[in-house]
Amino acid sequence: MKKFILTFVLTVSMIGALSAQVSGKAIGVRFGGFSGYGGEISYQHPLSNANRLEVDLGVNHYGFGLSGVYQWVWDLSELSDGFNWYAGVGGGLGSYNFNDTNRSVGIGVLGQVGIEYNFNIPLQLSLDYRPGIYIMPSVSGIYDGICLSARFRF
């Protein structure tokens, strides 16, 4: 048990030391071209030096959705200055029309993991994977996608 506690404390300390500096707010677009989804307006708001909230409003040919994800951000500067990786959890709400007679409102639980690069200019590019479990009448299930984002940092 002592070894477990020592390992846990060391792991938490190392993760804390590797935390990135979340630098300001960012707004832009998040494209799901790899998975066939439509685009989203994306906004990131810092909550601390290593945490932020990402809120996205998206539209595709089925309807629209709003999602919010709490993210933890870690430094990856060993690749190159400006690289971070992040993981988070959150929720989603949407209205979808999968056929002409069935409009559904759904709620979901989301996860997210991704990598980002912050340029020396106020530009951020990121690539992430976001799976979600949605509950909707007649079309509940797991939905996911790989998305590319471009955001202006301010």
Q: Which residues sit opposite 29 in a β-bridge?
A: 41, 150
**55 lies in a domain?**
yes
Domain that holds residue 63: 20-153
Q: Which residues sit opposite 79 in a β-bridge?
A: none
What are the phi and psi torsion angles at 144 (to 5°)?
-150, 170
List the CATH number of the domain containing 121.
2.40.160.20
In this predicted structure, what is the pLDDT of residue 37? 62
What is the tens place of the pLDDT at every residue in 54-104?
Answer: 999 988 777 888 999 999 999 999 988 999 999 999 999 988 786 766 678
**36 lies in a domain?**
yes
Q: Per-residue DSSP letters for 107-141?
A: EEEEEEEEEEEE-SSSEEEEEEE--EEEE-TTT-E
Domain count for the chain, please give it: 1
Range with the lowest mean pLDDT among 18-22, 24-28, 91-95, 107-111? 18-22
**78 lies in a domain?**
yes
